[in-house]
Amino acid sequence: MAPERESTRERTPVGATAATRHRTPRLDQPRPPRRRILPEWDPEAFGRLSEKIARFLGTGRFIVWMTVVIILWVVWNIFAPAVLRFDNYPFIFLTLMLSLQASYAAPLILLAQNRQDDRDRVNLEQDRKQNERSIADTEYLTREIATLRMGLGEVATRDWIRSELQDLIKELEERRRHEGHVVFPAERTERSQGRDADDR
């Protein structure tokens, strides 16, 4: 009877069950995307689009096209048949369209300016780092040149050796004149040979 009771009894696994495993998020897998009520957009793509629009709004072409549209709008609503006119003399609808265009143009221009400011900030930071590296390299080269100058100050140059030898020769000649004898033995032998030749 005891073995039958064990077989009929429902076994529960020890530890984490499948139900609890699905409830806790796994750290080795990315989270599933959440459903959002608001639509998503790429901020970089929207920023690039706003910059294109802001660049177009700042050109003479936009002013020319806007002037042409306003002139056609006014001419149509003044000289067209009364049935085909859609905006009578005070041109309220034209004012509404221009204010709508201005209300959209201002934030787009501000967004484009903010992106340009961010780019300028990054460029200034890169320029500052480049200037710091250039200053550090210049200081290093200045120190190296100073050490080379100090090292060259202790090296005997050809002109210095020549001047020292000339001073020694002058000093020896002055001693020879005062003492009356030849300092260099090679000169003595040459002079003695010259005297012998003269005697012959």
Measure the N-to-C terminal CA separation of the chain; round to a whole number of Å.
Answer: 156
**Helical H runs in 80-157?**
92-153
DSSP code at position 30:
P
The whole-angstrom separation of Cα 144 and Cα 141 is: 5
Higher pLDDT: 136 or 193? It is 136
Angstrom distance (rounded) from CA 53 to CA 47: 10
Q: Quick one: pLDDT at residue 49? A: 86
Per the CB < 8 A criterion, the answer to whether 94 and 70 are in contact is yes
pLDDT confidence band for 157 (50 / 70 / 90): confident
* DSSP-assigned letter for residue 70: H
Over range 70-74, report the average pLDDT. 93
CA dist list (Å): 50 to 40, 45, 53, 160, 164: 17, 9, 5, 74, 80
Average pLDDT for the chain? 80
CB atoms within 10 A of CB 50: 19
What's the pLDDT score for residue 1? 45
When mean pLDDT is compared across 74-83, 101-110, 186-195, the lowest value belongs to 186-195
Residue 97, judged by CB atoms within 10 A of its CB (0-12, 13-18, 19+), counts as middle
What is the separation of C-alpha 19 from the centre of its chain, rounded to a whole number of angstroms?
Answer: 53
Model-level pTM? 0.47
